[in-house]
Amino acid sequence: MLAPIHHILGLTSIVRERVLPISGNVTVRLQQKVSANDIVAETKWAREHVLLDIARLLNVSPHVAERLVTCKVNDQLQADAEIAKGKGLFAKSIKTPRAGHVVAVGGGQVLMAVGETKIELRAGIPGTIIQILPSKGVVIQTSGGLIQGVWGNGRIASGSLVNLADTPDAVLTPTRLDVSLRGSIILAGMIKDIETLEAATELSVRGLIVSSIYPSLLSKAREMNYPILVTDGFGSLPMNSAAYKLLSTNAKRDVTINAEVYDRYTGAKPEVIIPLPTSTDPLTPNETEEFMIGSQIRMRRPPFMGMIGSITTIKHGLTTLPSGLQAQSAEVKLENGETVIAPLVNLEVVG
């Protein structure tokens, strides 16, 4: 059975494709070094469309209206620009309600895209441009440690990592935050109150890496101007031991948080990257794995949610769980020595 993978790796080659949602301009060149916040491509995107029914507005047939339309596809028009005019002494004039460009003309109707906004695509990770995808984006490569999370607030930043989580189940409170942390990325435990998020803003921290956050704080967390990456989930969950060990042993190093929102179609997850110098490119992590005896896994649902263990047996057929449901399951030896049975769909391979 194919297993979902959650990357927590001390040293790996990280290759990320960064692509615009629609065609645009790539602003970097091949082999260029970029930082996480550099813009690598940009484009314009209209969120709204306006359909102007010229035939109805001029009270003529669609066939007649087509001859009266003066604009054509791809015309860039200002607000109040004339796009059709009726016939006669007191001919009615049809003007554009807003600035925009013409998407389609036909059947006595004009479709306009309006309200254009600029989209800037950032690199997301520091590294080297190894491929240009014309009009779409780039492929970036770097080497270092990689820790994926489960939730991010959509922001990107780099800075020096400071460890404020003495243990994986530590709770970050405003009293732990002082001016010495200004400009740092903070490794914290759980966040349980809004005051902590606000204190971090006042302090101008560069980012927060937390094990869990209360769901009620998510809307506030999205508003913060620094990246917040959650490694394990929502509520009161300690940080999984693999992520905690890797992050805490890399304190004082420069790290990058790309707290992008999880995208199930592209598989993009929020992640922390610890750039490390290497003489040769390390191997890239596997993108597909199968559950096997010895696989290091993380539990994704209760009981034992967030705990790391290794598969000792994959059970044949279906196993009845304490809930009464039946599922293909495995015996897992947890880090605390306990052996438990868990359905495979509730596990993910860590590696």
Partner 1 sequence: MHFSPNIRPSLETEDTDPAERELARMIINIRKRQIKGVDLLDLWSGGHMLPTAYATGRMVRFLSKIYGSQKGILSVDVGASATTIAAAFRNKSTLKVLPQFGLGENLVGLLNYTTLENILKWCSLDITSGVLLDYLHQKSLYPSSIAATKEDLAISQAIARQTLSLAMQSASKDFPRNIATIKPNLTPLFDPILASGSTLSSASKPGLSLLLLLDGLQPVGITTVILDQNNLLPLLGVAASQNNLLPVQVLESGAFLSVGSVVAPVVSAKYGTSILKAKLNYENGAEANVDLKFGTIEVLPLANGESGRLTIQVPRGVDVGFGVGRGGSIPVSGGALGVVFDGRGRPLDLPTDPVRRRELIKKWTWTLGGA
What single letter denotes the amino acid at residue 49? Answer: H
- The whole-angstrom separation of Cα 168 and Cα 171 is 9
**Which of 235, 278, 312, 335 contacts partner 1 by CB under 8 A?**
235
Reduced to 3 states (helix: H, G, I; strand: E, B; else coil), residue 57 is helix
Q: How buried is 177 (Cβ within 10 angstroms: 0-12 exposed, 13-18 middle, 19+ buried)? A: buried
In which element (H, E) is residue 52 found? strand 39-53
Q: From residue 278, how far is each of 144, 154, 158, 282 by CA, in Å?
A: 8, 29, 20, 8
Shortest distance, position 346 Cβ to partner 1, whole Å:
5
Q: Which residues ranging from 96 to 115 are in contact with partner 1 (CB under 8 A)?
A: 103-104, 111
Interface map 248-267 toward partner 1 (x if CB under 8 A): --------------x-xx--
- The one segment of 63-71, 159-167, 202-210, 229-237 that binds partner 1 by CB under 8 A: 229-237
The continuous run of DSSP H or E covering 135 comes out as none
Alpha carbon distance 207, 271 (integer Å): 12
| Smallest separation (angstroms) from partner 1 to the CB of 278 | 30
Q: Least distance in Å: CB of 246 to partner 1?
A: 21
Residue 88 engages partner 1 in binding (rule: CB under 8 A): no
Window contacting partner 1 (CB under 8 A); options: 220-228, 239-247, 275-283, 294-302: 294-302
Is 342 a binder of partner 1 (CB under 8 A)? yes
- Contacts with partner 1, 126-155, as mask; x by CB under 8 A: ------------------------xx----
User: 307-317 burial, b if ≥16 CB within 10 A, otherwise e?
Assistant: bbbbbeebeee
321 binds partner 1 (CB under 8 A): yes
Q: Using CB under 8 A, pick the residue from 199, 227, 300, 332 that binds partner 1.
A: 300
- Convert residues 172-211 into a mask of x (bound to partner 1 by CB under 8 A) and - (unbound): ----------------------------------------
Pick 202 or 290: Cβ nearer partner 1: 290
Q: Is 305 in the site for partner 1 (CB under 8 A)?
A: yes
Say whether residue 234 binds partner 1 (CB under 8 A): yes
Do residues 43 and 124 touch, judged by C-beta distance below 8 A? no
DSSP-derived secondary structure letter, 222: H
Strand-by-strand arrangement of the 100-106 sheet: 25-26, 39-53, 109-122, 100-106, 76-77
Contact 209, 227 (CB under 8 A): no
Contacting residues toward partner 1, per CB under 8 A: 103-104, 111, 150-151, 215-216, 218, 233-235, 262, 264-265, 300-303, 305, 320-327, 342-343, 345-346
